[in-house]
Amino acid sequence: MNLQKKLKNKEYRDSFAAEYIYSRIPLKIRAMRERRHLSQQELGRLAGVRQEWVCKLEDPNYGRLTLATLLKIAAAFDVGLNVDFVPFSQVLDRSTHLSSQDFDVASFNEENLTAPLEAAARGRDLNAAY
């Protein structure tokens, strides 16, 4: 049975959406930690959680992510956290078109260092927006 047919079933759709979150977030946490050359213990210290919690948060099978903990992790990485309700088509599109760039999240400082260069490349004055 193809995915389109399976998604007509509400129970399957719900499981698909949950699996998308519960697998993508842990993989993203691990990718961001490794990109920054941090150990689980170092990330735990930055986030104010024990290393064991970081290990659990990086496990796609854990499934008990909380907003409070994700906000701590986002703060440790100095990135934003976006939690939103979206049409299912967006979940489907994002889950079936993942790339390595989806896991490469720049920190605030990294983004601010590159934003003027990217804006200049597009012919925009970044400071004019403020």
Q: Alpha-carbon distance 4 to 92, whole Å? A: 10
The predicted model scores a pTM of 0.81
Q: What is the CA radius of gyration of the chain?
A: 17
Residue 119, pLDDT score: 63
Residues 97-119, mean pLDDT to the nearest whole number:
81
User: For the segment 10-48, what is each residue's pLDDT rounded down to a tens digit?
Assistant: 999 999 999 999 999 999 999 999 999 999 999 999 999
Check pLDDT > 90 for residue 113: no
CA distance 54 to 77: 13
**Cα 120 from Cα 111, distance rounded (Å):** 14
Q: Which helix (H) or strand (E) holds 69?
A: helix 67-77
pLDDT tens for residues 75-104?
A: 999 999 999 999 999 999 998 888 888 888
